[in-house]
Amino acid sequence: MTSPRPAASPGGPRASTSSDRLQRLLALVPYVVSRKMVGLAETAAAFGVSERELVDDLNMLWCVELRAPDPYCPIDLSYEGGEIVVSQAESIERPLRLGVDEASALLVALRMLAEIGQVASVPGLAEGSALSRTIAKLEAAAGEAAAPAAKVAVQVDRNAEQSVAAQLREALASRRRVHLAYYVPGRDEATERDVDPMRLLVVEGRTYLEGWCRRAEDVRLFRLDRVLRVDTLDVAAEVPNEAEPVDVDQGLFRPSPGDLRVVIELSPYGRWVAEYYPCEEVADIGDGRLRVVLRTPDSEWVRRLALRLGEDGRIVGPAELVADVRAAAALALRQYTQAD
Amino acid sequence: MSKRKTERLLGLVVCLLSSQRYLTATQIRAAVPGYPASFDAFKRMFERDKEELRELGIPLDMGTNGPLDEELGYRIPRQEYMLPDIRLEPDEAAMLTLAARVWRRAELEGAAAGALLKLRAAGVEAEETSQPGIEPRLAGEAAFGPLWEAVRDRRPVTFSYRAFGRSEPQQRQLEPWGVVNRHGRWYVAGHDQARDAVRVFRLSRIEGQIEFSGPRGAVSVPDGTDVRELVAEWDSHPADRQAAVLRIRSGTGLGLRRRAISEQPGGDGWDQVEVPFSDSAWFAEHVASFGADVVVSEPADLRDAVITRLKGALA
């Protein structure tokens, strides 16, 4: 990953787990009230707690007591037989309204989905779909808290051909195999392969097809803007059972043990490398220079990167690669001296 | 927060919500169990409790029940407390869970989960779904949290920023107008106070702490500001202004040929390819990355820039 930046929030630490509990308690009663009766197990799952924690919560709610002017217990509930019923809770029978952060988190994400709907032509996210209705309803329910969400916007790369996305969606829907002509910039190659589509992903602002690549016999991601051509084949897609979907929450790039460990020293003009590629290590070596460690299976890619960087990025190791880059640079320069 | 404190705060919320009238501190103390016997200790604890409720977004009103009341009282106005009615169809509720997942492992993940919890409490059946077959994610970025707070609360900030190519970071003072994720990267746009001009900053180039340098509400965003547009402009190359004539070895240089205006086979194993470009520094790096497969014929400055790159790689 990129260099650790201790840009801590000046507002201090976020809500503690115990203020989470108060929020949960306030949501619990309306959750049950709006469903009349609901099982312990189901409720615990919905709130992400164990049944035991849930029972503790219910007991705490049931025990709320106000002592003046006349003592009374405002909340009455039971969970006999594993079914929760709230018979009295008038003051907290509705959930607390959405806070600005809460409303914004959902609205920003929903508007991002709408943007993706356009870019990747996803029918389920098209205008006039459930998505636009959801946005309108959420804005109405959030009221004033909805406004600051407009200060965060998400823009997805529109470089991919609309027709490519549409064709891949159709292949996904009809579960058919596709033939892709796919450009690999790291090797400057147009590759041809058959792929059994699994799903479309939008990660780091770009749209990808995830699929079982029959050439690699493994799950691969294909950036849609690098797809040169799609042919939908008259063959049913067969995604093997062992095909593991990529865990997008772990980042797209996962180094494997056989990868090269490339050490590069970057000038201030070469620092972008640390922003664009997941680096295993990033060290500040003074004067704005960085020493980074990258993992890649592809020495060709490193050679191209080094030629691109020139004096702004010096490969330090492995030694074969250092020699390789020098040779490639010398060969390229010879083209110019010969031509002259 | 201890169990006792949670109990006390819960009692306080229920008490203030149940009453239509303003309750004085003394009345609250009598009604809600868990406050200490000493009045001073109670006052201190009550102050902290009020702050705690406000942080949770619980609206707390102060006032009196009539002109004869001398002491200010408190209540939670129900209409302001309650989430308005919201009814979602199953396909709409599915959108919400998909939206909440967008923030997984990013800064507003907790806020998204909190919102979903309240909507579920309002009766929305938001179940996990794999529809509509697309899984979007936003990347986490350390500087996002403080900058989101700043744009939300309209507060100016200062931070240390390392602009492209700079060996040292510089201190910047910004009235932030908005935060934009463009093609997977986070940016903030606003008014740079020292330069008195509109500026865009990339969040990944902010170093160290972001400090608030003014009160809430101090920033006003000019009417008609479109931060998306500002960031897009900053990030875009100008339209292609010139064309390079390149010699490309047959069967190679696909990345360049994809953008070519014309291609002529030379018969000697090399093709002459004309490729438009705008940013000559970037284009020189791009051409250099093809090594001995691509040779610049013209323009001369591009040719020199590529040679410089290659010599740099040789050093």
The reported pLDDT for the residue numbered A14 is 41
Chosen from A314, A322, A335, A340 to mutate, greatest number of chain B CBs within 10 A: A335
Instruction: Tell me the backbone φ, ψ of residue A7, rounded to 5 degrees.
Output: -85, 75
Model confidence at A281: pLDDT above 80:
yes
H or E element at residue B293: none
Q: Where are the domains of chain A?
A: 17-92, 100-151, 162-250, 260-339
A197-245 pLDDT tens trace: 998 888 877 888 999 999 988 899 999 989 999 999 999 989 888 888 8
Mean pLDDT of chain A: 86
Q: Are A12 and A19 in contact (CB under 8 A)?
A: no
A238-277 pLDDT tens trace: 988 888 887 776 667 777 778 889 999 999 999 999 988 8
Model confidence at A70: pLDDT above 90:
no
A78-122 pLDDT tens trace: 999 999 999 888 888 999 999 999 999 999 999 998 888 877 667
Please, which residues have CB within 8 angstroms of residue B296's CB and are 6 or more apart in sequence? B244, B245, B246, B247, B287, B302, B303, B306
Model confidence at A10: pLDDT above 50:
no
* Helix, coil or strand: residue B251: coil
B157-186 pLDDT tens trace: 999 999 888 888 999 999 999 999 998 889
Which one-letter DSSP state was computed for residue A83? E
Specify the amino acid at residue A249.
D
Tokens for B179? 């935060």
Model confidence at A3: pLDDT above 60:
no
Tokens for B123? 């009766």
Please, which residues have CB within 8 angstroms of residue A19's CB and are 6 or more apart in sequence? B1, B52, B55, B56
CATH class of B3-81: mainly alpha
d(CA B47, nearest CA chain A) in Å: 16
Model confidence at A290: pLDDT above 90:
yes
Query: Tens of pLDDT along chain B (315 residues)?
Result: 688 999 999 999 999 999 889 999 999 999 999 999 899 999 999 999 999 999 999 999 999 888 887 889 999 999 999 999 999 998 889 889 889 988 987 889 999 999 999 999 999 987 776 666 677 888 888 899 999 999 999 999 999 999 888 888 999 999 999 999 998 889 999 999 999 999 999 999 999 999 999 999 999 999 999 999 999 988 877 776 789 999 999 989 998 998 899 999 988 899 999 999 988 888 999 999 999 999 999 899 999 999 999 999 988
Q: Quick one: fold of A17-92? A: Arc Repressor Mutant, subunit A (1.10.10)
The reported pLDDT for the residue numbered A163 is 81
As a whole-number percent, the residues of chain A with pLDDT over 70 amount to: 90
H or E element at residue A284: strand A279-284
| pLDDT range class, residue A11, cuts 50, 70, 90 | very low
CATH class of A162-250: mainly beta
DSSP string, B217-240: T---PPTT--HHHHHHHHHPPPPP
b or e along A277-312 (b: 16 or more beta carbons within 10 Å of the residue's beta carbon)? bebeebeeeeebbbbbebbbeeebbbbbbbbbbbeb
**Which residues on chain A are in Cβ contact (under 8 Å) with B5?**
18
**Angle, to 10 degrees, between the axis of helix B90-102 and the axis of helix A130-142?**
80
Residue contact B117–A94, C-beta within 8 A:
no
Cα–Cα separations (whole angstroms), residue A293 to A3, A270, B198: 11, 14, 36
The reported pLDDT for the residue numbered A95 is 95
The reported pLDDT for the residue numbered A7 is 36
**Which residues on chain B are in Cβ contact (under 8 Å) with A174?**
none
Q: Where are the domains of chain B?
A: 3-81, 84-133, 155-233, 242-314
Model confidence at A305: pLDDT above 90:
yes
**Which residues on chain B are in Cβ contact (under 8 Å) with A31?**
120-121
Chosen from A73, A152, A264 to mutate, greatest number of chain B CBs within 10 A: A152
Model confidence at A13: pLDDT above 70:
no
Residue contact A288–B166, C-beta within 8 A:
yes
b or e along A152-169 (b: 16 or more beta carbons within 10 Å of the residue's beta carbon)? bbbbbbeebeeebbebbb
Which of B236, B242, B239, B240 lies closest to B296 in space, CA to CA? B242
**Residue A212 and residue A209: Cα distance in Å, rounded?**
10
d(CA B123, nearest CA chain A) in Å: 5
What is the average per-residue pLDDT within A138-157?
90
**Residue B44 and residue A213: Cα distance in Å, rounded?**
65
Which of B216, B262, B269, B187 lies closest to A100 in space, CA to CA? B216
Instruction: Tell me the backbone φ, ψ of residue B28, rounded to 5 degrees.
Output: -65, -45
The reported pLDDT for the residue numbered B65 is 86
Model confidence at A6: pLDDT above 50:
no
Which residue from A66, A95, A329 is facing B118, i.e. has the nearest CB? A95
Which of B195, B193, B94, B103 lies closest to B148 in space, CA to CA? B103
b or e along B141-166 (b: 16 or more beta carbons within 10 Å of the residue's beta carbon)? bbbbbbbbbbbbbbbbbbbbbbeeee
The reported pLDDT for the residue numbered A176 is 94
The reported pLDDT for the residue numbered A155 is 85
Which of A201, A205, A197 lies closest to A168 in space, CA to CA? A197
pTM (predicted TM-score):
0.85
The reported pLDDT for the residue numbered A1 is 33
Chosen from B49, B116, B148 to mutate, greatest number of chain A CBs within 10 A: B148
